[in-house]
């Protein structure tokens, strides 16, 4: 079954983050964008991704895979195969898409070329770009002043203050920086605040490009606190965490039926963007909300 393509007259939209939240934003942006790029965290160290990284140091492929699937131009068997996980033997638990990206990275000679080739195979309607093309580790400073290392370990803490990546001078993907600088709208979130959104912007050049861009910067707040990472967080806590990392969005979208605490948040917009269950964002509703706030700023 064909999927919805992009509007040739639509704006340039860049979505930044990782995980299922970023994939949701990409599906939402397909409803109104003319050009669409994902700038994806590559700091994950769990599951199939972690095993691949342990075998050979590389940027994490898992969130890249999710974004390729979200941008796929059709429902051909290769799209479903990207998410297929092997159930036995040496490949037990590995996602086929992770293996494909790793193989293409080695055969094509670069991660960006690998993602472009995977995008061609999937007939993607946008481009998937990593935050950096070198292996990185996520690190977090906690309330006590200590440091936690590794994305999985960071996500298990409820006392997070700031996140960084090691090496600190990891170069940002130049095409990702260019996409942010040329965008009409940059969307942060939804998704795990520290281990997806801020993990992506922890690559120095990515955060700098977001601060420099003339695009409208939108933060899509999570629907609920995430145990343990953002336990007890309200909208204002999310925005304060962004500010600690030098990020000040122009607009903050939140669903008042699922989360509160936005009374004193500059640019906060209450909108219905959750599915009926209240457990996940609705891509169609989120797409309309993102299109509306961009149109309102024109």
CATH number at residue 185: 3.40.50.10680
The helix or strand, by DSSP H or E, that contains position 142, with its residue range, turns out to be: strand 137-142
Q: Which residues contact 13 (CB under 8 A, 6 or more apart)?
A: 29, 32, 33, 35, 36, 37, 183, 184, 185, 186, 187, 290
On whether the pTM is more than 0.85, the answer is: yes
pLDDT band with cut points at 50, 70 and 90 for residue 3:
low
**Which whole number is the average pLDDT over 41-58?**
85
Q: What is the structure's pLDDT at 49?
A: 76
pLDDT band with cut points at 50, 70 and 90 for residue 54:
confident
pLDDT digits over 162-198, tens only? 999 999 999 999 999 999 999 999 999 999 999 999 9
Q: Which residues contact 168 (CB under 8 A, 6 or more apart)?
A: 204
Residue 3 within any structural domain of the chain: no
Q: What is the structure's pLDDT at 4?
A: 56
Residue 100 within any structural domain of the chain: no
**Which whole number is the average pLDDT over 11-40?**
97
Residue 84 within any structural domain of the chain: no
Task: Give the domain extent around 245.
Answer: 12-44+132-297
pLDDT band with cut points at 50, 70 and 90 for residue 7:
confident
Residue 160 within any structural domain of the chain: yes
Q: What is the structure's pLDDT at 2?
A: 46
Residue 35 within any structural domain of the chain: yes
Look at 227 and 243; give whichever has higher pLDDT: 243
Residue 239 within any structural domain of the chain: yes
**pLDDT above 90 covers what percent of the chain?**
88
CA 287 to each of CA 91, 187, 231, 241, 292: distance values in angstroms, whole numbers, following the listed order: 37, 11, 27, 25, 9
Domain count, the chain: 1
Q: What is the structure's pLDDT at 65?
A: 97
Q: What is the structure's pLDDT at 50?
A: 79
């Amino acid at each position: 079954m064909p999927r919805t393509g992009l509007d040739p007259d639509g704006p340039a939209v860049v979505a930044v983050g990782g995980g299922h939240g970023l994939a949701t934003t990409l599906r939402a942006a397909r409803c109104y964008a003319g050009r669409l790029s994902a700038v994806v965290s590559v700091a994950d160290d769990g599951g199939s991704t972690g095993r691949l990284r342990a075998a050979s140091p590389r940027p994490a492929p898992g969130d890249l895979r999710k974004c390729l699937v979200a941008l796929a131009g059709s429902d051909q068997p290769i799209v479903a195969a990207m998410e297929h996980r092997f159930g036995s033997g040496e490949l037990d638990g590995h996602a086929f898409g992770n293996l494909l990206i790793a193989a293409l990275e080695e055969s094509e000679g670069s991660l960006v070329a690998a993602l472009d080739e995977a995008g061609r195979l999937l007939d993607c309607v946008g481009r998937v770009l990593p935050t950096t093309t070198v292996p990185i580790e996520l690190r977090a400073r906690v309330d006590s002043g200590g440091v936690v290392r590794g994305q999985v370990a960071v996500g298990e803490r409820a006392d997070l203050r700031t996140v960084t990546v090691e090496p600190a001078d990891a170069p940002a993907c130049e095409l990702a920086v260019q996409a942010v600088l040329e965008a009409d709208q940059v969307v942060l979130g939804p998704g795990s605040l520290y281990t997806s959104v801020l993990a992506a912007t922890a690559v120095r050049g990515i955060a700098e490009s977001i601060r420099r861009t003339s695009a409208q910067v939108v933060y899509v707040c999570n629907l609920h606190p995430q145990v343990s990472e953002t336990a007890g967080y309200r909208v204002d806590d999310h925005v304060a965490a962004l500010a600690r990392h030098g990020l000040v969005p122009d607009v903050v979208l939140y669903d008042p039926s699922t989360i509160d605490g936005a009374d004193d948040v500059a640019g906060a917009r209450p909108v219905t963007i959750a599915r009926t269950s209240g457990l996940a964002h609705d891509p169609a509703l989120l797409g309309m909300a993102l299109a509306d706030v961009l149109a309102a700023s024109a």
